[in-house]
Structure 1
Amino acid sequence: MADNNSFPGENNTGHVWDDNLRELTNPPPRWWMLAFWASVIWWVVYGVLYPMWPVGHESNKGLIGWTQMDEYIKGVDEVEAIRAEFETQIKGMSAAEILVAPGLSQYAVASAKVLYGDNCAPCHGGGGQGGPGYPVLADDDWLYGGTIENIQQTITMGRKGIMTAHGKILSDTEIDSLSKAIEAGDPMSDPNFTQKGCIACHGMDGKGMAVLGSANLTDGIYRFAPAEGESLLDSIKHTIKYGVNDATEPKSREAVMPKFGERLSADDIKKLAVYVHKFGGGQ
């Protein structure tokens, strides 16, 4: 094909397609070559200054002795130095005091974001919206009270409410009648509510008692959402019949929050309490 080069004297390989499309052999532009050799020099210098060349099972240490771990430790030290002032204040303050201190409250929220994500979000959702079988933290319905002190105690000590499996003392007809009254938000309208002892935990008005962690049965907010394919009425019946955390009943609801006081520091719990309170549902 080179013998039939129709562009003699031109720097091409002699390969021509479609009459005039050919492959040239011109050298690269000077700026490109300068950049290429500069990158080669930079690579060699970098390899001398920083760990790069293989030496046995590791790399060389480099002339400046830089390591990624040293860089990380330096960064952590810088962050800790900035946080030290706030952390010192938090040690001597209650969660309630931190909540009303503008600058410190903002720091607590920013600092607790990771704590919440690691310890709370898997159950309660990233924004406190709750999940299947787990309470919402962003509303004003609190089983054990929503004050900053209540929240701090709940995080520290955990919670394990208990409701007896009433299927042992109520007939199916009575459970059905009581469930319908609760679904309507008026549990007092069913005689079983008072006669079978429900008032002992849920109060004469059915609005629950924070000291016991008993639910408000009049507000339409339910600790246990219906399972897939299950109606709200069926879910209420299940809770009444099999109870909550009743060790004698295999079908009992399970509702246990672990004691985070065993894994988190007191200061971290204060910050978490402020963070949860600021979801908007704290009292």
Structure 2
Amino acid sequence: MADKHIDDLSGVETTGHEWDGIRELNNPMPRWWVYTFYATILWAIGYCVLYPAWPMINEATKGVLGFSSRAELAADMNAARAAQGAVLEKISSASLEEIIADPQLAQFATAGGAAAFRVNCTPCHGTGATGGQGYPNLNDDDWLWGGDVNAIHQTIAHGIRDSVDPETRVSEMPAFADMLKPEEVRQVAAYVISLTGTPHDPSLVDAGKQVFADNCASCHGEDAKGNREMGAPDLADAIWLKVSTEADIANQVRSPKHGVMPAWAGRLGDTTVKQLTVYIHSLGGGE
């Protein structure tokens, strides 16, 4: 066995490791570090004895203190439900107008509705309720079916074109591909886009206005301002749900797209639907 090497300068034994002529000294660990290390070991042993720590087949070891984070969470949740119960009962029994008129109920319902919106509505309407193509923006005061609290509640509770709910809102724009000639489709598209923008061929607008009067005014109105009783959109406000260009309008006339919104009353219950109504009304309602 080779003799131990002692560093000439420090007089300390080396470990035998050498890099580019530099030898590693075999100094002991600092006492404070060693004691801290031992303390962490003792702490870990004590923790395993006192608290749930080791996973078993069906559950973890319970620990002598009997602590359970799940039990604490359940207790906190039960306490929160108990605290909310009285307010939720008031919301359940109050009308929408009464909820909005009561500052405490309105604040509570708005907060609860915002939480329900994030869980159930953001996949379509977005986190900020700004919507997207085919999904309405709920912030802009432009409503297909009306923006007062009762109209919003009806839409949320029973949906749009829900295949199960008998009280769902239904509006169907017919496909005009078989009713209008291709030239008439181009004309009416030119007229509709002229209400808010510049058509590709302005010479088609006058003829398109007549096509609109003959085929579209019965739902959208003679002034193209829409009809909320039928869910017919306002075509003169530059707010578009499913289209944005003249070509899109022509395609919608030929073969319209119809969106579907599920009915939420059976899924969430009336109290949550009321809270959603108050929240959404606070974003862009006010009628």
Q: TM-score category by the smaller chain?
A: 0.7 to 0.9
Aligned length: 267
Alpha-carbon separation, structure 2, partners of 1:217 and 1:204 = 11
* Runs of 4+ residues deviating >6 angstroms: 186-189
Contact 1:5 1:14 in 2 (8 A): no
2:231 corresponds to: 213
Amino acid corresponding to residue 73 of structure 1 in structure 2: A
What TM-score comes out, normalization by structure 2 length?
0.84
Cα deviation for residue 206 of structure 1 reads 1.4
Alpha-carbon separation, structure 1, partners of 2:60 and 2:131 = 49
Cα deviation for residue 25 of structure 1 reads 2.8
Amino acid corresponding to residue 34 of structure 1 in structure 2: Y
- Correspondence for 2:279 among 260, 269, 275: 275
1:139 corresponds to: 140
Alpha-carbon separation, structure 1, partners of 2:264 and 2:236 = 31
**Mapping 1:6-17, distance limit 5 Å:** 6-7=8-9, 9-13=11-15, 15=17
Structure 2 vs 1, CA of residues 241 and 53 (structure 1 numbering), >3 Å: closer, same or farther?
closer
What's the % identity of the aligned pairs?
Answer: 36
Amino acid corresponding to residue 112 of structure 1 in structure 2: G
Cα deviation for residue 98 of structure 1 reads 1.9
Alpha-carbon separation, structure 1, partners of 2:118 and 2:282 = 15
Alpha-carbon separation, structure 2, partners of 1:16 and 1:200 = 94
Structure 2 vs 1, CA of residues 167 and 47 (structure 1 numbering), >3 Å: closer, same or farther?
same
Unaligned stretches of 5+ residues in structure 2: 162-170, 197-204
Structure 2 vs 1, CA of residues 48 and 103 (structure 1 numbering), >3 Å: closer, same or farther?
same
Contact 1:133 1:223 in 2 (8 A): yes
1:229 corresponds to: none
Contact 1:12 1:25 in 2 (8 A): yes
Alpha-carbon separation, structure 1, partners of 2:230 and 2:261 = 15
What TM-score comes out, normalization by structure 1 length?
0.85
Measured against aligned partners, the alpha-carbon deviations of 1:97-122 in whole angstroms (never above 9, x if no partner) come to 22232232222222222311221111
Measured against aligned partners, the alpha-carbon deviations of 1:111-140 in whole angstroms (never above 9, x if no partner) come to 222311221111111111112311111111
Amino acid corresponding to residue 23 of structure 1 in structure 2: E
1:235 corresponds to: 248
Cα deviation for residue 281 of structure 1 reads 4.5
Unaligned stretches of 5+ residues in structure 1: 227-231, 244-252
Contact 1:2 1:15 in 2 (8 A): no
Contact 2:243 2:249 in 1 (8 A): no
Give the 3-state SS of the residue equivalent to 2:130 in structure 1: coil
Structure 2 vs 1, CA of residues 62 and 18 (structure 1 numbering), >3 Å: closer, same or farther?
same
Cα deviation for residue 33 of structure 1 reads 2.4
